[in-house]
C-alpha cells in the first residue's frame, strides 16, 4: 500500500493550491498564507508533479485554472472545510470541557442574571458559563448540570442549597386598562381577564382561596408558557397578571405597568436558590461563580 502515499499531497501543497484557486493569484495566495510567492509556486509545482497534470494555465503573471484544476479545486474544497471544522470542534470541545453548565429559570435568567453576567465574565474570563433554560422539577432541571437556580423552600435533601433572594408576588396591569376598568375590590376582578403563566406558583384562584375570598369571582383567561410572555401580554392591555416583583422593575419605572393594590388579597412570596449536588462542591469554577453570585445578590439589595 506504499504506493498510495504518492497520491496523498502534503497539507502545504493543498493549502497553497486552494488559496491560489480561490484568489486567482499566487501573490494573493502567498499573502493569505503568510508565505512567499516562490513558496506558493513551488508547492503547486510539486502538486502538479505528483498528479502528473497541469492545474493552472500561466500567462505571464496571470493564472487560470485548467479543466482538471477546476475539478480538483471543487473536490478538495469540501475536504479542507471538513478538516478545518473537525479541528475547530476538537479545539472548542477542550475549551467547553471546563465550562460551567448552569440551568436557570428563563425569567430569572433574562431579567436578573443576564444583565449582571457581563460583570462576572469581565472578572473571570477564564470561566465559560453555558446557560440552559429549564423549568419543572428540580431533579429534571439539574440533570447534566453543574448547578441550577430554582424556586423552593430550601428543603432539598440531596442538594446543597444557597439562598439567593426572596421576592413578593404582585398584581400587574397596564395603566390604560385600569383607567377604563378600575380595580378597587375583589369583585372588580370579574370585569377583567386574569392571565397566568404555566408555573408551579399559585394562580388567581389559589390566591383568592388563600385570602379567604370566593375563587368563583376569577375569570381566568389565557395562559402562557413563559412569564416573559405573560408580562408582555399584560403590558399590551390583554388583562391582569400575577408575577414576582423582581422581574418587572424596569416596566414599573417606565410606567408601562402598574401594581394595583387589592385589599386583603395575598400572593405568596417566592424564594430563589442556587442548587448543586454535594460532589460538585469541589468544583473551583462553581465555587467562584457562587461567591460572585452571592455578592451580586447583596449588591442588588443595596441598590
Take residue 199 and report the three cell numbers written for it.
Answer: 408555573
pLDDT of 139 > 80? The answer is no
Radius of gyration of the chain (CA): 31
Contact 241, 227 (CB under 8 A): no
- In angstroms, the Cα distances linking 61 to 73, 106, 206, 280 are 20, 60, 82, 63
Contact 130, 96 (CB under 8 A): yes
pLDDT digits (tens, 9 = 90+) for 84-130: 888 776 765 555 556 899 999 889 999 999 999 999 999 999 898 99
Query: Which is it for strands 100-104 and 129-133: parallel, antiparallel or unpaired?
Result: parallel
Q: What are the strands of the beta sheet with 240-244, ordered from one edge? A: 169-172, 240-244, 194-197, 220-224
pLDDT at 187: 83
- Answer whether 0.85 is exceeded by the pTM: no
* Helices assigned H by DSSP within 152-203: 175-180
Tell me how far apart the alpha carbons of residues 265 and 163 are, in angstroms, rounded to a whole number: 27
Tell me how far apart the alpha carbons of residues 155 and 194 are, in angstroms, rounded to a whole number: 31
Tell me how far apart the alpha carbons of residues 184 and 6 are, in angstroms, rounded to a whole number: 88
Tell me how far apart the alpha carbons of residues 178 and 258 are, in angstroms, rounded to a whole number: 9
pLDDT of 140 > 70? The answer is no
pLDDT digits (tens, 9 = 90+) for 149-190: 988 888 888 889 999 999 988 999 999 999 999 988 888 888
* Helices assigned H by DSSP within 109-243: 114-123, 138-141, 175-180, 204-210, 227-235
Contact 41, 74 (CB under 8 A): no
Contact 80, 33 (CB under 8 A): no
pLDDT digits (tens, 9 = 90+) for 8-51: 889 999 999 999 999 999 999 999 999 999 999 999 999 999 99
Which secondary-structure segment (H or E) carries 95?
helix 67-96
Take residue 227 and report the three cell numbers written for it.
Answer: 412569564
| b/e code 220-249 from CB counts within 10 Å (16+ = b) | ebeebebbbbbbebbbeebbbbbbbbbbbe
Neighbour tally for 138: CB within 10 Å: 19
Strand partners, 196: 223
pLDDT of 6 > 70? The answer is no
Mean pLDDT of the chain: 87
Read off the pLDDT band of 138 (50, 70, 90).
low
Of the two residues 95 and 272, the one the predictor is more confident about is 272
Amino acid at each position: 500500500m506504499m504506493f498510495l502515499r504518492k497520491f496523498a499531497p502534503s497539507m502545504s501543497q493543498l493549502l497553497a493550491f486552494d488559496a491560489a484557486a480561490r484568489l486567482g493569484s499566487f501573490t494573493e495566495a502567498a499573502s493569505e498564507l503568510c508565505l512567499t510567492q516562490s513558496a506558493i509556486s513551488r508547492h503547486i509545482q510539486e502538486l502538479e508533479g505528483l498528479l502528473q497534470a497541469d492545474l493552472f494555465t500561466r500567462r505571464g503573471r496571470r493564472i487560470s485554472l485548467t479543466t482538471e484544476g477546476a475539478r480538483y479545486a471543487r473536490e478538495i474544497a469540501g475536504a479542507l472545510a471538513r478538516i478545518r471544522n473537525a479541528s475547530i470542534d476538537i479545539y472548542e470541545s477542550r475549551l467547553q470541557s471546563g465550562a460551567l453548565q448552569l440551568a436557570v429559570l428563563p425569567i430569572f435568567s433574562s431579567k436578573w442574571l443576564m444583565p449582571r453576567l457581563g460583570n462576572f465574565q469581565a472578572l473571570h474570563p477564564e470561566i465559560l458559563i453555558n446557560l440552559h433554560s429549564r423549568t419543572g422539577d428540580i431533579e429534571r432541571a439539574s440533570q447534566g448540570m453543574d448547578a441550577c437556580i430554582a424556586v423552593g423552600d430550601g428543603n432539598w435533601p440531596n442538594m446543597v442549597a444557597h439562598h439567593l433572594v426572596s421576592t413578593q408576588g404582585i398584581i400587574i396591569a397596564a395603566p390604560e386598562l385600569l383607567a377604563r376598568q378600575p380595580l378597587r375590590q375583589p369583585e372588580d376582578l370579574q370585569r377583567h381577564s386574569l392571565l397566568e403563566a404555566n408555573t408551579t406558583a399559585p394562580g388567581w384562584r389559589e390566591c383568592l382561596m388563600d385570602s379567604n375570598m370566593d375563587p368563583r369571582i376569577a375569570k381566568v383567561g389565557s395562559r402562557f408558557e413563559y412569564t416573559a410572555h405573560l408580562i408582555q401580554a399584560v403590558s399590551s392591555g390583554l388583562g391582569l397578571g400575577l408575577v414576582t416583583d423582581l422581574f418587572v422593575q424596569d416596566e414599573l419605572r417606565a410606567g408601562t405597568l402598574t401594581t394595583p393594590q387589592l385589599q386583603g388579597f395575598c400572593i405568596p412570596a417566592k424564594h430563589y436558590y442556587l442548587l448543586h449536588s454535594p460532589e460538585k462542591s469541589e468544583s473551583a469554577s462553581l465555587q467562584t461563580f457562587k461567591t460572585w453570585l452571592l455578592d451580586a445578590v447583596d449588591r442588588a439589595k443595596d441598590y
